[in-house]
Structure 1
Amino acid sequence: MTDTFWAFIGLVLFLALLVYFEVPNAIIRKLDTRAKHIKDELDEALRLREEAQKVLAEYQRKHLEIEKETQEIIADAKDKVEAMLSETRIKTEEYIKNHSRLVEQKIAQAEANAIRTLSSTAVDLAISAINRLLMKELDAEQANSLIKEPLVKESLKKIETYFN
């Protein structure tokens, strides 16, 4: 019986004691529990990953919807601004046309008033000059009778209407 034999016997007894006290079963149970725990953590991680992917997909969809809605709002705002600009341009052009027309009417009216005033003044001056001329050449009674004659009155009216 050599030392190797006794070492072998010690090893066998040690292994027998381990089996007797169910150490391998305890180790297996501990490893099984640990494996189950790791498997549960992996399953939870997969579930969380899938949930995160769903949430990401949902947020991406919402982002696209919001982006599309934003583009629609911007396009609508541009259309409204263009419509307002067009309407403002048209109203401004109408205002300018109306204002120009009113100014032209006022100018025409002022010209007509000036012509009327000048003609009236010219007629008054002509009548006054004729009166003075007649008074110089004729005596007062002859001049008044001549002015009162219908032919002279009609001629004076024609002169007056001509200048008006």
Structure 2
Amino acid sequence: MRTIATIIALTAAGPALAAEGPFFSLANTDFIVTLGFLLFIAVLVYFKVPTLLFGMLDKRAIDIQSDLDEARALREEAQTLLASYERQQREVQAQADRIVATAKEDAKLAAEQAKADLEKSIARRVAGAEEQIAMAETKAIREVRDSAVRVAVAAAREVIAKQMTAADGNKLIDQSIDTVDAKLH
């Protein structure tokens, strides 16, 4: 501290030495200004103002350093959170991609199953229709046969009625009764 005061005093005395006349005179304004300045510096040093100033500067430097440390810690925490959120976003995106892929696969399988079910349904309906056609065919054939039998019986009745006499009819009835009697016993 004292070295600072002497440096200031020597620097301030430089212009005073250049003045004319005796320097150490109360009539010399340069001497009075130098003396006032040195007295002012001495009062500042006596009341420890430089120490207070340096203390305030040190405290301010410590406060700034703590603010910087806190900002650095907050920045690191923010970077950690950002990395965490980015990782979570990637995981969620991957999960969404898997869900979409699974849904597409499920939809494809469901479409294939629906197609197979439709083919089975069509095959059952075709089989049912073919069965109905076969039954209708059988019914038609039976009706044609029945009709043919009726026509044949009617034709035979007319032919037999024209050719048969009463005696031949009685004889035929007796033979039929004997046949039925033989088969029943």
Using the size of structure 2 for normalisation, the TM-score is 0.75
Cross-structure match for 1:88? 114
- Unaligned residue ranges in structure 2 (runs of 5+): 1-26, 176-185
In 2, the alpha carbon distance for the partners of 1:4 and 1:45 equals 52
Instruction: Give the root-mean-square deviation of aligned CA atoms.
Output: 2.1
| Aligned counterpart for 1:69 among listed residues 57, 81, 95 | 95
Cα separation, partners in 2 of 1:98 and 1:140, compared to 1, 3 Å: farther
More helix by share: 1
Cross-structure match for 1:103? 129
How much does 1:142 deviate?
Answer: 3.2
1:81 partner letter: A
How much does 1:137 deviate?
Answer: 3.6
Runs of 4+, deviation exceeding 6 Å = 146-149
Cross-structure match for 1:6? 32
Is the CA contact 1:18–1:24 (under 8 Å) kept in the aligned structure 2?
yes
Cross-structure match for 1:128? 154
Cα separation, partners in 2 of 1:28 and 1:147, compared to 1, 3 Å: farther
How much does 1:87 deviate?
Answer: 0.9
Cross-structure match for 1:114? 140
Cross-structure match for 1:29? 55
Paired residues, what number?
150
In 2, the alpha carbon distance for the partners of 1:12 and 1:148 equals 176
Cross-structure match for 2:18? none
In 2, the alpha carbon distance for the partners of 1:141 and 1:118 equals 35
In 1, the alpha carbon distance for the partners of 2:134 and 2:90 equals 65
Structure with more relative contact order (C-alpha pairs < 8 Å, separation 6 or more): 1
Cross-structure match for 1:52? 78
State which structure, 1 or 2, has the greater radius of gyration over its C-alpha atoms. Answer: 2
